[in-house]
Amino acid sequence: MRVRGAVCCVMLLALTAHGDEADYAIARAAMVDEVYFYATLARDTGEAALNEDVMQALGTVERHEFVPARQKPFAYENRPLPIGYGQTISQPYIVAIMTDLIEPGGGDVVLEIGTGSGYQAAILSALVHHVYSIEIIEPLADGAAARLARLGHDNITTKLGDGYYGWQEHAPFDAIVVTAAASHIPPSLVRQLRPGGRMIIPVGGQFTTQQLLLLTKTDDEKIITRQIAAVRFVPLTGEHQDE
Ligand code: SAM
């Protein structure tokens, strides 16, 4: 794993809503360096902070394609941005660590809850065999499906629905990525995780501290939970009840 160079802390580029591809590419590279820098700070073991494949996906997927026109100048800032309907595209650093923690492999089938803009799904699609993604807000679901098709992500299947129940038809999943904060861990998602699988999920209320949890299902179907970090996500909505 090569050590990344100096972090570009100051974004010298003034990207416009119509920034050209070269400007975006430079801004994206700076964003990747910044994400790596923060991941290194968070991990004090001396190990590589993030898997190189994850960094490469982050450096390839064009975040400016996933944000509304007026947000494009800020597309490569390391922060969440509004995507409409009170929702956000997640902070690149959080996308990176969530992706890294599920240890994506080339043969994996992954479920994402909360398609939003489609950005997290696009990052996953570069790393795994197939991504299934569920979004509860119809215009976001439609917009993401059209965007992902236009950008050529042909290993992503999306649907409109309440992700609390998962997607039984395509289970079990090697990994599940939940990108909205749940009040508790949805039992259906645990059931749909294959033995050996990993789930990353923010848990907590809208106005209380949320914890990003990594769940691993052992081969004998026990759940091991690791607390990763305090985070802030929009809530997992829907009228769902435990089954
Ligand atoms: N992954 C997204 C991306 O890359 O742009 C960002 C996700 S945003 C932080 C959370 C998303 O979860 C929102 O689009 C929201 O509408 C969606 N969501 C909330 N509750 C949901 C549910 N029960 N089922 C599916 N999606 C849900």
- Annotate 122-183 with DSSP letters as a single string: HHHHTTSSEEEEEESSHHHHHHHHHHHHHTT-TTEEEEES-GGG--GGG--EEEEEE-SBBS
Q: In testing the pocket of ligand 1, which one of 61, 123, 132, 135 has its CB within 8 Å of the most ligand atoms?
A: 135
- Dist. CA 83 → ligand 1 center (Å): 11
Residues with CB under 6 A from ligand 1: 87-90, 113-114, 116-117, 119-120, 134-137, 140, 162-164, 179-180, 233-234, 236-238
The average pLDDT across 206-214 equals 91
Highest mean pLDDT among 44-53, 128-137, 201-210: 128-137
**Residue positions counted in the chain:** 243
Would you say residue 22 has pLDDT above 70?
yes
Residue nearest atom 14 of ligand 1, based on CA coordinates: 116
Percent of the chain with pLDDT over 70: 89
- Dist. CA 136 → ligand 1 center (Å): 7
Give residue 234's pLDDT band: very low, low, confident or very high (50, 70, 90). very high
Domains of the chain: 74-242 (3.40.50.150)
What does the pLDDT read at residue 18?
A: 60
What does the pLDDT read at residue 5?
A: 45
* Rounded distance between C-alpha atoms, residue 52 and residue 54, angstroms: 5
The average pLDDT across 78-92 equals 97
- Where in the sequence numbering do the catalytic residues fall? 90
Q: In testing the pocket of ligand 1, which one of 87, 98, 138, 160 has its CB within 8 Å of the most ligand atoms?
A: 87
* Rounded distance between C-alpha atoms, residue 155 and residue 169, angstroms: 16
What does the pLDDT read at residue 8?
A: 44
- Dist. CA 43 → ligand 1 center (Å): 27
What does the pLDDT read at residue 146?
A: 98
Q: In testing the pocket of ligand 1, which one of 97, 110, 176, 236 has its CB within 8 Å of the most ligand atoms?
A: 236
Would you say residue 4 has pLDDT above 60?
no
Helix %, strand %, coil % of the chain (to 5): 35, 25, 40
- Dist. CA 231 → ligand 1 center (Å): 15
Residue pair 115/140 in contact by the 8 Å Cβ criterion: yes
Average pLDDT of the chain, as a whole number: 91
Nearest ligand 1 atom to alpha carbon 237:
20
- Where residue 230 falls (left for φ over 0; alpha for ψ -120 to 50; beta otherwise) is beta
Give residue 243's pLDDT band: very low, low, confident or very high (50, 70, 90). low
The average pLDDT across 4-20 equals 52
DSSP 94: H
What does the pLDDT read at residue 6?
A: 44
Reduced to 3 states, what is the DSSP secondary structure of residue 21?
Answer: helix
* Rounded distance between C-alpha atoms, residue 91 and residue 219, angstroms: 33
Of the listed ranges 12-16, 113-117, 121-125, 154-158, the least confidently predicted one is 12-16
Q: At what angle do helices 52-60 and 21-42 cross, to 10 degrees?
A: 150
pTM of the model: 0.92
Cβ neighbors of 176 (< 8 A, separation 6 or more) are 102, 110, 111, 112, 113, 166, 189, 192, 193, 197, 198, 199, 200, 201
Q: Tell me the CB-side half-sphere exposure of residue 88, using CA atoms within 13 A.
A: 17
- Where residue 67 falls (left for φ over 0; alpha for ψ -120 to 50; beta otherwise) is beta
